[in-house]
A and B are shown apart, each in its own frame.
Chain A
Amino acid sequence: MINLTINGKAIQAPEGSTILEAARANGIDIPTLCYDKAVEIYGACGLCVVEAEGIPKLLRSCSAKCTEGMVVNTESDRVVQSRKIAMELLMSAHDGDCVAPCQLNCPARTDCQGYVGLIANGEYDAALKLIKNKIPLPASIGRVCPHPCEKACRRKNVEEPINIAQLKAFAANIDLDKDDSYLPECQESSGKKVAIIGGGPAGLTAAYYLTIMGHEVTVYDMMEKMGGMLRYGIPQYRLPKEVLDKEIAIIEKAGVKLVNNVKLGKDFTIESLKAENDAVIVAVGAWKSSSMRTPGEDLEGVYGGIDFLRAVIKGNPPEIGERVAICGGGNTAMDACRTAVRLGAKEVYVIYRRTRNEMPADKLEIDEAEEEGVIYKFLTNPISFNGEDGKLKSVTLQIMELGEPDASGRRKPVPVEGKTEEIALDSVILAIGQKLVQGDVSELKLNERGNIEADPDFFTTSIDGVFAIGDATNRGASIAIEAIGEADRCAKAVDAYLNGQKLDTRVPYISKRDESTIDYSDRKEQSRINPKVLPADVRNKNFDEVSLGFTEEEAQAEASRCLECGCREYYKCKLLNVAQRYDIDPSRFKGEIPQKYTHDENAFIERNTSKCILCGLCVRSCREVMDIHAIGLMGRGFKTDVSPAFSLPLDQTKCNNCGLCVQLCPTGSLTEKANLKKQVPLDEQYTEEFVDINGTQASVLVSRYNGKVLRVIPNDEVSRNANLSREELQAKLQ
């Protein structure tokens, strides 16, 4: 035996063993992307370098042998720098998306590609479970979300984005209609207590995930029912409250304690809750309508947008009369104008400073409102609300035109000198934003915008143990999915806090493709499907849900349009794993990508050389282990490529589909197809099982997801050389 020291730990290693072997045998992890014991040592990736005292060069631990008395450091600054640069270089030439852009653009990082794919495959339960990893209120969110995911969806480069939000609602509806809606198993009780102030999307989400993590959670809310803005800010025709009720019931069933009609500052304080709990999350939202600072706002007949919506939902709508104007161009303005129509107003105007193209509201909403009779007054801005005897009579509008683009890139509206217009009105609804009611959270430090100052990654506030999320914090009110995303991450941060740790919830490095290089010319156009809606002349008279939701057929057809941008090997990508271990910034070395996105497949294996990192494991295993030589390294230097001879497709080589190359591929360059129509990236679990091949026990790896066998992969000499198709192998499974 040889005695050596690794990272200060005295270690014994057998004669002839490498530093890598000795380190691994002692639980010290040294990264490597080109080493595998199945094949000869190669030394290409250079990630396994270590520093040894007295040796000036870095050693590749995969090949350097242990020597007596050697003192090795596997994580010295020099080693880390070398690995970091290696990974930055490698990722600068790796053209692939770890996850799809839809998922990246979702503030909650919902695995859109995953559930869309599962819906396409008819796996609705699995889809719902995937969604509920990130969103505990998917039926509600699916209906109301302005879906940033769809803005990022690359299908728009073919024709239109996938209808991701409605597909989410579709999967969620199926689950809600069941008697045994999905409930994840909760972890063992931690004995820790968490209080959450505010039962809106943020509070409920944090409560749900913390409960699953085993903590005792109580949500306190000032209103008579839970749901926050989802309940009191969104009209019934868009989100039926029965749907919200059912979803909240599931959260309650998971074990969250819900307490209504209690108000911060009146019934309790943050400090008082803190005294009784191990952590407090403040998620009080923003409940005050913003003012436009226009003369006449105090007149009778001028209402705040969310105040108006809340009054309608609570069943006591204000008298708005026959002629109503809504100021604003966002989704709240749409909710207000369409509600006004339904309340029987004869003339409903939407006053907006810019044009239709600049409206932040969802396009579908803008169109549907118009169908219902709403009149748009674009390029106008109220300069005074005029009244008699304290009651609103009319509005004077300044006519605007579009000038130079502003900081946001939108063209800035500028007044047209001397041009105004007056419209007679009975009421005005100001839907231009909402603010935190500051007095409620006077115990916490606020920022210059007047919102709670919370760390964007740790969610901590000025009081230790008190966290804050959602509309009440930092930049103020935003969309529900933003609050849900914060809540999900905050739950993890609080869980860590309860375990005495500090968790940085920043999303670690992931690889993204350069959008400009993607070619869509081989994609066939296939129109986007929207669910059917009630006819305009029916729906504008009642509060019935406008959207009729997807039928199963529509949902599957729509989901099948997904381009599957994200990498199938995301969950087991060794490359990504190593990349995330070091604080890398490959953009420093942005440059030419060596290989174009290519696609070659046979019955089981798919190849894409643009993700290849040239570790050579596939070529070497095909040659050294299998003696098949189906693929080889071609060319040299930066442009080296893995390919069959003469660039033939795999199908025309001697490849026997043993799958060893796929198994050893450290990234998504080689993938093995699963038993799925749409190949969805899934966190599969592999187990070793044995099958009988001509009387011999042969090892296979079996991947299962949601109880279904997705792949069977040969795992020893017998199964690899059996030349059996995957179906035949699977048939042998018992």
Chain B
Amino acid sequence: MEKRTVDLSLLDGVLAEYASVKGSLITILQHTQDIYGYLPKEAIELISEKTGIATSEIMGVGTFYTQFRFEPVGKYLIMLCQGTACHVNSSELILQTIKDELHIEDGQTTEDGLFSLKCVACLGCCSLSPVMMINEDTYGSLTPDKTKKILKELREAAV
């Protein structure tokens, strides 16, 4: 894998605002992930230095919550809802379709770096189940064909 460089200066603002506010670790990590798309090791070390919270604690928190990632994600992050209504309306078929189309498992990113797949807790759009979110957009009433079409369009849009 190519070596990535992490521009730590991007964190200055977040750390200036929150580093000395107690109880802000999760907020800081959320901002960090917004900046980098994931939590780079270098950023965690800097957060530890500035907040005085040990890296073992930060990693403990980071690995506890499903929101946080430690590897960069693809251009499109597919979040497939695992809620009850989606389950009852066959979300399993949609998961299988995505896996078959993209050849990745839950938590993985396609080789071209375009798509990442993550199964997530209920998105609360139960009336539109089965549902997935891709980045900020929500797609509802999915069928395998509709799912394939959405992925195809996104792939074409990216080229």
Partners in one complex: yes
Kindly supply a per-residue 1/0 record for chain A positions 624-664, scoring 1 wherever the CB is within 8 Å of any chain B CB and 0 otherwise.
00000111111110000001111000000110000000000
B59 and A629: CB pair below 8 A?
Answer: no
- Measured CB to CB, the closest approach of chain B to A264, in angstroms, equals 70
A632 and B41: CB pair below 8 A?
Answer: no
Cβ contacts under 8 Å, B63 to chain A: 634-636
Kindly supply a per-residue 1/0 record for chain B positions 47-75, scoring 1 wherever the CB is within 8 Å of any chain A CB and 0 otherwise.
00000001111111001100000000000
- Measured CB to CB, the closest approach of chain B to A635, in angstroms, equals 5
- Measured CB to CB, the closest approach of chain A to B47, in angstroms, equals 12
Query: Among B54, B56, B59, which residue has the most Cβ atoms of chain A within 10 A?
Result: B56
The dominant DSSP class at the B interface is helix
Cβ contacts under 8 Å, B59 to chain A: 632, 634, 645-646
Q: How large is the interface on A (under 10, 10 to 19, 20 to 34, 35 or more residues)?
A: 10 to 19
B55 and A646: CB pair below 8 A?
Answer: yes
Kindly supply a per-residue 1/0 record for chain A positions 695-731, scoring 1 wherever the CB is within 8 Å of any chain B CB and 0 otherwise.
0000000000000000000000000000000000000
How many A-B contacts are there with CB distance less than 8 Å?
34
Q: A645-B59, A646-B41, A646-B59 are in contact. Are A629 and B64 (CB under 8 A)?
A: no
B56 and A631: CB pair below 8 A?
Answer: yes
Question: Which residue from chain B places its CB closest to the CB of A628 in the assembled complex?
Answer: B54
A636 and B54: CB pair below 8 A?
Answer: no
Q: How large is the interface on B (under 10, 10 to 19, 20 to 34, 35 or more residues)?
A: 10 to 19
Q: Could you tell me the distance between the alpha carbons of A645 and B54 in the complex, rounded to whole angstroms?
A: 9
- Measured CB to CB, the closest approach of chain B to A118, in angstroms, equals 38
Cβ contacts under 8 Å, A630 to chain B: 56
Cβ contacts under 8 Å, A646 to chain B: 41, 55, 59
Q: Could you tell me the distance between the alpha carbons of A368 and B38 in the complex, rounded to whole angstroms?
A: 68
- Measured CB to CB, the closest approach of chain B to A631, in angstroms, equals 6
Q: Could you tell me the distance between the alpha carbons of A631 and B55 in the complex, rounded to whole angstroms?
A: 9
Cβ contacts under 8 Å, A653 to chain B: 56
Kindly supply a per-residue 1/0 record for chain B positions 86-112, scoring 1 wherever the CB is within 8 Å of any chain A CB and 0 otherwise.
000000000000000000000000000
B55 and A633: CB pair below 8 A?
Answer: no
Query: Among A623, A643, A645, which residue has the most Cβ atoms of chain B within 10 A?
Result: A645
- Measured CB to CB, the closest approach of chain B to A347, in angstroms, equals 69
Cβ contacts under 8 Å, B56 to chain A: 629-632, 643-645, 653
Cβ contacts under 8 Å, B64 to chain A: 633, 635-636
Question: Which residue from chain A places its CB closest to the CB of B53 in the assembled complex?
Answer: A629
B57 and A629: CB pair below 8 A?
Answer: yes
B111-154 contacts to A (CB < 8 Å): none
Cβ contacts under 8 Å, A634 to chain B: 59-60, 63
Q: Could you tell me the distance between the alpha carbons of A652 and B29 in the complex, rounded to whole angstroms?
A: 24
- Measured CB to CB, the closest approach of chain B to A649, in angstroms, equals 13
Q: Could you tell me the distance between the alpha carbons of A654 and B56 in the complex, rounded to whole angstroms?
A: 11
B41 and A629: CB pair below 8 A?
Answer: no
- Measured CB to CB, the closest approach of chain A to B120, in angstroms, equals 15
Q: Could you tell me the distance between the alpha carbons of A645 and B58 in the complex, rounded to whole angstroms?
A: 8
Cβ contacts under 8 Å, A654 to chain B: 54
Question: Which residue from chain A places its CB closest to the CB of B41 in the assembled complex?
Answer: A646
- Measured CB to CB, the closest approach of chain A to B148, in angstroms, equals 33
Q: Could you tell me the distance between the alpha carbons of A631 and B57 in the complex, rounded to whole angstroms?
A: 8
Q: Could you tell me the distance between the alpha carbons of A288 and B57 in the complex, rounded to whole angstroms?
A: 72
- Measured CB to CB, the closest approach of chain B to A611, in angstroms, equals 20
- Measured CB to CB, the closest approach of chain A to B4, in angstroms, equals 16
Q: Could you tell me the distance between the alpha carbons of A633 and B54 in the complex, rounded to whole angstroms?
A: 12
- Measured CB to CB, the closest approach of chain A to B106, in angstroms, equals 14
Question: Which residue from chain A places its CB closest to the CB of B48 in the assembled complex?
Answer: A645
Q: Could you tell me the distance between the alpha carbons of A633 and B59 in the complex, rounded to whole angstroms?
A: 8
Cβ contacts under 8 Å, A645 to chain B: 44, 54-56, 58-59
12 example contacts (A-B, Cβ-Cβ < 8 A) are as follows A623-B54, A623-B57, A632-B54, A632-B59, A633-B60, A634-B59, A634-B63, A636-B63, A643-B56, A644-B56, A645-B55, A646-B55
- Knowing that A634-B59, A654-B54 touch, tell me 13 more A-B residue pairs with CB under 8 angstroms: A623-B54, A623-B57, A629-B57, A630-B56, A632-B56, A632-B59, A632-B60, A634-B63, A644-B56, A645-B54, A645-B55, A645-B56, A646-B59
- A-B interface, 6 closest residue pairs, ranked by CB to CB distance from nearest: A629-B54, A632-B56, A645-B55, A632-B60, A645-B59, A645-B56
